[in-house]
A and B are shown apart, each in its own frame.
Chain A
């Protein structure tokens, strides 16, 4: 592992983001090359986090703690284990590819230094969330993720609606965060520690009713971020109206931070409380899946389609988490990986479609397979993966999640098999809208107004191609992803007992 990789992976993007913004204001040259500078800066976290993977496989969990606010007993720590390094790697990778994509997509937009500066800060914030070893630091980075993404939406989003939607996004996520804060503070008062690793022991002496209240408060915060029904309403607007590379990052990796948080904290620390409500959560997950899927069907705007699909897919991931079995959790975490890759890919191709055809309306598309072969190829791969088609990786993650749903390990939870059945039916809905998307856009007759459409520039189709290749590779050889992920699942469920 590179020396201090974890500290650098969080602070290097954040610092370079601020530097890029400041220098971009000061110098015209920096402003001109800000896009490439940003893309190059975004590669550092990929390398740094990648270097941590062999160490985690060999040594297991690594913790680095530094002092921060001694008078409050708060430290600044990094928890590097199978779970955090997996999620961190996918965050770094997808963000890097989205930043490269943005070089092409944002070519004609204003304020490059600000855009790429905020993006880098955003990356730093997300990595900070994933590597945090104590709850206060976690909360700081949780909110810190919010600010650059808010600015990215309001300054570079769809002009007429950006301000209102950014406001809604901020308020929704902040409400969740404040509930989370209350839960964190109450936990501190009861256990006298913020350290995630220590809280589980100390919670043993606490009244289970109090534990449930704290658990629900914190879970609410995570669910808002994950856009689970009924607190999902911010997501379709925010993801659809954000600039496309940012939509790719928001849908692709930011909402996964909510899933990470549920895994790490709700499952890892509050396992007994979680088990008590897992059936209700599973029901919520199923409702989200079905609702998201049905709404996706009704959309005519390509980005809104993918946004509602994200809502539905987060339902899948939540389903996997709520099975509280190793299989189900592995499936859920693997689906985080797959969805990150494929949803980012799909948003990028939506961006290409918008960029090349100048329209977002699905009804205007048709027969674009011949005009945009690369885009068609990557979109089909992305769509099929998320629809759960073998031998692509989505099939494995979905089957593991559903297997977890009917596994007998969890005991006598009523209605679980029924819920798993509904989930499987919802997979049909997912397949339907994805296939319909592919059909509508790429096959059929090419309409007159699209006769002159050309393929996007290399810098815009190369990143989704990389993502598509990864999805195929993971499908053929899922063990690549699964070694770390199954370690992570065992770590979380094992530590709760």
Chain B
């Protein structure tokens, strides 16, 4: 019906309650966890099988239920969509594996895995979508699953409040996107991406298209947590179970970044609409807010959440350059940040699992008792701080280089790149403080009780740590992957011609 990986995720997700029931009856406690992990693994494998055809044909067009273009729902998969989908399913797989032990003290696991798989299915659908309606349907699937997952531990007030705040803000964002979509439909007569591109760029730009662009940026921007629309994130990410925080920070906000990227580059051509500098300023604002607010935090997960906001600033800065090198840097940073931030949230989950606290003052010195987790946490912090030869350095370098590279278009780009550099510097202060708190300070009474995390939680973290090191020391294959995706999104002709014959 849809593409194979997406179908797999949806099927597995729908069958999960049944499997849960079987597991309960047969006395196999972890059956549903294994089922979900299997689903992700199978989906990842199917994605892998797809990569040949994406590389060959450049753009895969799949209409749903043999419908007729341009009215029907269509999936248009290019290298960018494939890149993002791979990332989403991979992190989903690791999270699911991790949840096997992490979530064992919770109840309602059937709901958890259904929602997790639906959320990833929604995200994959968003990046595969070739028309706005399909995108919106899958977008909402993703959003609604994530609202419930944030509020998953509903017996405490914090997740419920955070979930409600997130729901209201994100739903507003969705409504704004819907309104923008309706304006675009009015202008173009179609919701299909390719046709929209042709329609919007043909006549000169007018107030309606600019308003549609602004509304789309705001709507998608709420999800991507750009300032000043980011205020839901610092509450939602800490309140969610840590495996979900890893997903939220690692991939859900990247779906927002994808939507921004695709809509700005495809519908609202940079040459006509000149949104680069405005977006860059928004990006720098986002980074600054994220970094400054992270400095005084004492809650580990809240600090990591603000850090995610700052990192989204770096990513959007790369996107705002609208050049191949800028986009490559931005996409590479999307990949690296997903890896690193998931690692950091999974480690904080391990700390929570061991001592039931997120307070940095209580967690002091816990790295001395949980040595493996502590070491991986240190690698993650060093990487996101941009210390060579880890992966965070490589992608931040690329974005900076691209930023300075467009300086000839206007001195403001040098200034903005300098501000990004300053932000990178600020951030080192709080990442270093994290390392010092966790690894170096004297253990508190609470941290002395900590035991090392179980293997099922350590394995995904180890894989992510290994990726941090490998992508830092030998980044070439990862850079090519990002670069192909960047070239694909900039190659508008190829994208449009796949639909409009």
Contacts and interface: CB of A to CB of B under 8 A. Distances in A.
A69 B476 contact: yes
A162 B436 CA distance: 10
Interface stretch (B13-21, B214-222, B421-429): B421-429
Contacts of B371: 25
Interface stretch (B180-188, B272-280, B292-300, B382-390): B382-390
Contact of B398 (A72, A143, A155): A72
A69 to B, nearest CB: 5
Interface in A69-102: 69-72
B421 A182 contact: yes
A171 interface: yes
A393 B371 CA distance: 48
A280 B105 CA distance: 66
B86 interface: no
B444 to A, nearest CB: 15
B382 A147 contact: yes
Interface string B412-433: 0000011001001100110011
Contacts of B417: 182
B425 A178 contact: yes
Contacts of B441: 163
B425 A175 contact: yes
A191 to B, nearest CB: 12
A430 B400 CA distance: 44
A184 to B, nearest CB: 9
Interface stretch (B93-101, B354-362, B401-409): B401-409
Contact of B397 (A147, A166, A171, A185): A185
A471 interface: no
Nearest to A171: B429
A170 interface: yes
Contact of A140 (B389, B398, B418, B433): B389
Contacts of B483: 71
Given A71-B479, A144-B389, A189 B429 contact: no
B11 interface: no
B472 to A, nearest CB: 9
B497 interface: no
Contacts, number: 65
Given A69-B475, A163-B441, A170 B400 contact: no
Contacts of B440: 154-155, 162-163, 166
A33 interface: no
Nearest to B406: A189
Contacts of A162: 440
B172 interface: no
Contacts of A185: 397, 400-401, 404
B401 A174 contact: no
A139 interface: yes
B224 to A, nearest CB: 26
B333 to A, nearest CB: 14
Interface in A180-194: 181-182, 185-186, 188-189
B480 interface: yes
Interface in A183-239: 185-186, 188-189
A188 B401 CA distance: 8
Q: How large is the interface on B (under 10, 10 to 19, 20 to 34, 35 or more residues)?
A: 20 to 34
B388 A182 contact: no
A326 B23 CA distance: 81
Interface in A43-77: 69-72
A436 interface: no
Contacts of B424: 178
Given A154-B436, A167-B436, A188-B401, A143 B480 contact: no
A29 B302 CA distance: 42
Contacts of A174: 425, 428
Contacts of A146: 387
Interface core residue of A144, A147, A155, A186 (most chain B CB under 10 Å): A186
Interface in A160-177: 162-163, 166-167, 170-171, 174-175
Given A163-B440, A175-B425, A182-B418, A72 B432 contact: no
Contacts of A72: 398, 479
Interface string B340-376: 0000000000000000000000000000000100000
A206 to B, nearest CB: 13
A144 B388 contact: yes
Nearest to B437: A163
B170 to A, nearest CB: 35
Nearest to B418: A182
Given A25-B371, A155-B440, A170 B432 contact: yes
A181 B421 contact: yes
A143 B433 CA distance: 18
B405 A189 contact: yes
B324 to A, nearest CB: 11
B186 to A, nearest CB: 43
Interface string A380-400: 000000000000000000000
A282 to B, nearest CB: 29
A167 B433 contact: yes
B477 to A, nearest CB: 9
Contacts of A155: 440
B476 A139 contact: no
B155 to A, nearest CB: 38
Interface in B246-302: none
A174 B404 CA distance: 20
A210 to B, nearest CB: 10
Contacts of B436: 154, 163, 166-167
Nearest to B405: A189
Nearest to B398: A72
B388 A69 contact: no
A171 B428 contact: yes
A128 to B, nearest CB: 10
Given A72-B479, A140-B389, A189 B404 contact: yes
5 contacts: A147-B382, A162-B440, A163-B440, A167-B436, A189-B405
Interface of B: 371, 382, 387-389, 393, 397-398, 400-401, 404-405, 407, 417-418, 421, 424-425, 428-429, 432-433, 436, 440-441, 475-476, 479-480, 483
Question: Would you list the 5 A-B pairs with minimal beta carbon distance, nearest first?
Answer: A140-B388, A71-B479, A189-B404, A143-B388, A178-B425
Given A167-B433, A174-B428, 10 more contacts: A72-B398, A143-B388, A154-B436, A163-B441, A166-B440, A170-B432, A174-B425, A178-B424, A186-B404, A188-B401
